[in-house]
Structure formats: structure tokens, C-alpha cells
Amino acid sequence: MMTFLAPGFAWAFLIPAAIVVLYLLRRRYTPRNVPSTFLWQRSVRDHAANHPFQKLRRNLLLPLQLLAAVLLVFGLMRPSLTGGTAGRSVLVLDVSGSMMARSGDKTRMEEAKEQARQMVRNLPAGERITVLAAGDTIRRVVLDTQDKDVAERAISELEPAMGGADLAKALKMAEAIGSEDAGEGRPAGAAVTVFSDSCLPPEGVSAVNVGRGEANRAVVLLTAEDGKAYARVANYGPDCTVSLTCEADGVLVQAKEMEIPEGETAGVSFGLPAGTKTVAVAIREADALPEDNRAQAPVTARRSRRIVLAADNSLFLESALKVRADWTVVRADEESLGAAEADLYIWGNGPVVFSRNPSVTAFSWPDQAKAAELPLTPVDGSPVTAGVTMKDVALREYYPIFGGKAFLLVGEDPAAALTETEAVIGFDLHASNLPLKYDFPILIQNLAGALLADLPEDQGTEETEATILMPAEESDIRTVAPSVAAEGAAAAEAQGTDLTAWFLLGFLLLLLAEMGVSRFVC
């Protein structure tokens, strides 16, 4: 069965009618002197037709022109072959930050929208179409429409944002939409297709992953206080040198270069003029994802925090804490820990405990450590692991931690966890190479900062919104997942075949034939 995706162009059938009318109209001749009377007979015959219209004569050009015009009109109406019965389709479009990445002259989002619109055009007539936008939250952009134009316009209007994409939640919503048909005399379920760059779909779901892998650099952290700003930059690509600029209240104050190994992060600090209210740090080099090359933060006024450190052989830990000028680190014995006044207490070697109240703990761990047979990995979305990759971190053994929210894992075991007032790192820092990594200072500062965050007298100089930083997993655009076609997806696609190109090709061929014939007829 053939349907038309743009039936509004049917008015163009006036073109063949106009061609016939032009052939019926009387021809007008220009008077000419001829050297022979051989043409008189034909001239008299034409002159005798003294009427506005004349009878059509045999002319090979007329059927060629009419057929070419008809093919052009059908091409404008976008014919498509459809088959089978209409059902329900759910299209999930990833609108996360990585979809802003550009390969060549198109972003991943633009490519995904093209693919989604093409799929909508090829769906059978009467198909019920739902479009979901998957970002940090899931939006129903179009729900159960049979109007393909409405679905295409909604897809075209989608734009990516700086956050991530909760594809798992989007697929659950798509499954729920498909199950709504149960009990209505129609088969339950819907054909679900995800348009993304990183989707590994479950069985029965198709994924169209667009784009190609690109190297990228990103500002993943920016904090500022009186007189100083600290930024952290991640390198999702080969070893490189990155140029950074720092602006204080919109005025350039400093520029620095830093070398960052492949897959690592590196920190850099900038001095700020007195009275600075807002600081912005930007990467000068262009890359495939410019949206994560700049960050802005308010300058905060802080009072000094006192931290008591009672861990043995903790030079690396002490050095990481002293990076913050507003943190005063004091050493003490673990036996006299409770007698010292401090905002934060740190003790133990394996595990290492961070607490605002050393007399109470919500954590526990076994007596015996476990061998670390799997790598140490950060938990996505945890404030402690912001800007941390844990690449090539080696760990000999660890204590699984019970309680709180995990922010470091060994396999599925929590190797470090925290609550609002305390945290535990469940291994001896000296039993790993973590203190030698770029990640270590930022991990410790994030951890201590999270525990001290709600103490009084930490406030900005004025209400200035910080730039929303792109999640690290969105900035890492080095790979693209392969596309996956669910079972039966090929058959569904065969239900709709766009014939527009074939009709337009036929029109061009007939046009060429008409030009050739006209040389012999005229």
C-alpha cells in the first residue's frame, strides 16, 4: 500500500493540466518571407483555425512532458510504501551534555534528530507515536499521536542540556507506556528505540548511537575564596598541554599552561584581586565539546577550619589538606583526640576515619581485610568523586564498609562511604598508590569539604550563581556505543519505504528524454 507523507502538495497536479491547456491554445506566428510556396498548404491550414483553441495533434513531446510533471508531483507528495498493521512506537532521545559534541559539521544531537525524524516518516500510517526526552529528568514531549508532522516538529525542537541522561528511567517509562494497551483488545507492548551516543539497551529495545569518538578537555571543578581560585581540568584524550585563563569579575587576571597525561585530571590555582565577587576559568584550546570548557563560581568568604589529624605516617594526607589555605591542620595522638577542639577529626591508618564527632560512629567493618581482586572505582554522582577518575589506582587490600553512602567501590563492595557528619576510607592509604595520583588531593578536599559544608559562616560575598558543570561521564566523549537493532526491528522498518528519491529520479530522466526529443520535433 502506498501512502503520501506530504499530501498537501496535491495542488501541484495543476501543472499537467496547465501543460495540456498550453497545447490547446492557438499558436501565434511571426510573419516571414519564404522562398517557396511549399509551405503554403500548412500555413493556410493553421490560419484557418481562427479559434482560441485548436484540436490536439499527435506530438511525442506532450506525453513525455505530462508523465514528467506527474512524477514531479508525486515526488513532492513524498510517496511511501507501508505494510502490516499500525502499532505503537516510543522514541527516546538522549538530551544529555555529551550530545552537544560535534563531529564534522554536525552535533550528535542534530544527527540523532535526523535519524529519529527519518524513522517517524517510515512508520506505518496510523502508528501511535510517543517521544520522550531523556535528561536528568524524563519529559513526555509527544504522547500517543498519529500525526507524523507533530512528532517530527517535537523532535526538531529538542535541545541538549549540561546534565546527564537517566536512560534506565526513560526505558521504564517507555515500558509502562507500552503496557497501557493491555485489556483494550490490542497487543500490549511498544517498539522502543533510543537515540543516543552511549546506550547499551536491554533485550527487545533498539538503540541508534550517533557520532564518533573525540578527544576532549573539560573544567570539572572550580572553587574560589578570598584571594584564590582553584580549578581542576580533565583530559579525555592523549597527553596534551592545556592553556587556561582566569577572569575576575569579567577582567582577565592570569593565564597558565599545564600538562595533563592521557585520562588524568590536574589542578591549578590562580590569585585573585581583593574584593573579587565572581571568578571564571576557561580552556583556550578548541575541542569537540566547547560547552564544558568554561566554569564560573562565586568567591566565598570562609573562616578558618581546624582539623586534628591523628593518623600515623600521614604526610600525603596532611599535604592534601594543607592545599586549602583556610584549613589549619594540627597533629595529635589518637588517645587525646577527644580533648582537642576542632571542626573535623581524622584518625586511623586502615580504615581512615573522618568525623566531626570522634565519640560516635555510624560505620562498621570486618576484622579481616579482603584482597582487592578488582580495581578501585568512583561512584558516579557522589560529591566526593567530582573530578576524580581513579585511573590506574592499585590497591592491595581493603575493608568492606557497612553504613552511609558509598563513594568508592571494589567490585560491588563499598571501599569508602560517608554520612553528613563522618566518612571512612576502608583501606590503608600506604597499601595503595592513590596518594601518588593526581586524584588524591581533590578526593581529600572534596571529602573534607563535604563534611564541613554545613558549618556556619561559609557564605558567598553576594548571591552569584555558579556555572553548572557537565558531569564527567558526559565530558568523556572518546567512545560511542554501537547501534543495536532489536529482534523484529528490521521487519518493522520494511513496513515503510520512502519512494521520493525514485520518483524524482524518474522525473529527471524524462526531462532529459524530452530535451532530446524536442531537438528532432521542433
Largest separation between any pair of C-alpha atoms in the chain: 132
Rg of the chain in Å (alpha carbons): 35
**Residue 476, SS3?**
coil
Q: What pLDDT score does 401 carry?
A: 94
| Whether 208 and 239 share a structural domain | no
The CATH number of residue 209's host domain is: 3.40.50.410
The CATH number of residue 394's host domain is: 3.40.50
Q: What pLDDT score does 503 carry?
A: 84
| Whether 73 and 104 share a structural domain | no
| Whether 33 and 138 share a structural domain | no
Q: What pLDDT score does 494 carry?
A: 44
Q: What pLDDT score does 215 carry?
A: 94
Domain count, the chain: 4
For the chain, the distance separating the N- and C-terminal CA atoms, rounded to the nearest angstrom, is 41
| Whether 469 and 402 share a structural domain | no
Reported as a single tens digit per residue, the pLDDT across 107-160 is 999 999 999 999 999 888 788 999 999 999 999 999 989 999 999 999 999 999
| Whether 384 and 505 share a structural domain | no
- The span from the CA of 450 to the CA of 401, in Å, is 19
pTM of the model: 0.62
Q: What pLDDT score does 518 carry?
A: 74
Q: Is 467 exposed, middle or buried (0-12, 13-18, 19+ CB in 10 A)?
A: middle
Q: What pLDDT score does 495 carry?
A: 46
| Whether 315 and 448 share a structural domain | yes
The CATH number of residue 238's host domain is: 2.60.40.10
Give the domain range for residue 471.
216-301+462-475
- The span from the CA of 176 to the CA of 76, in Å, is 38
Q: What pLDDT score does 387 carry?
A: 76
Q: What pLDDT score does 459 carry?
A: 47
| Whether 405 and 443 share a structural domain | yes
Reported as a single tens digit per residue, the pLDDT across 180-237 is 654 444 444 688 999 999 999 998 899 999 999 999 999 988 988 778 898 999 999 9
| Whether 25 and 144 share a structural domain | no
Residues with Cβ < 8 Å from 208, sequence gap 6 or more? 112, 115, 116, 193, 194, 195, 196, 483
| Whether 207 and 223 share a structural domain | no
| Whether 203 and 332 share a structural domain | no
- The span from the CA of 229 to the CA of 225, in Å, is 6
Tens digit of pLDDT at every position of the chain (522 positions): 566 767 778 888 888 888 777 766 655 556 667 676 555 666 655 555 444 545 555 667 778 778 888 888 888 887 776 555 568 899 999 999 999 999 888 999 999 999 999 999 988 878 899 999 999 999 999 998 999 999 999 999 999 999 999 999 999 999 888 876 544 444 446 889 999 999 999 988 999 999 999 999 999 889 887 788 989 999 999 999 999 999 999 999 999 999 999 988 888 999 999 889 999 999 999 999 999 999 999 988 766 788 988 876 678 888 888 887 778 888 888 777 777 788 899 988 889 999 988 888 889 999 999 999 899 999 988 888 887 888 888 899 999 999 999 999 999 999 999 998 999 999 998 889 999 888 888 899 899 988 987 665 544 444 455 677 888 889 999 999 999 987 655 444 444 566 788 888 888 888 888 777 777 655
| Whether 261 and 363 share a structural domain | no
Reported as a single tens digit per residue, the pLDDT across 77-90 is 877 765 555 688 99
Beta bridge partners of 354: 346, 423
| Whether 350 and 448 share a structural domain | yes
Residues with Cβ < 8 Å from 23, sequence gap 6 or more? 56, 59, 62
Whether the Cβ atoms of residue 398 and residue 415 lie closer than 8 Å to each other? yes
* Dihedral of the alpha carbons of 453, 456, 459, 463, in degrees to the nearest 10: 100
Q: What is the DSSP letter of 171?
A: H
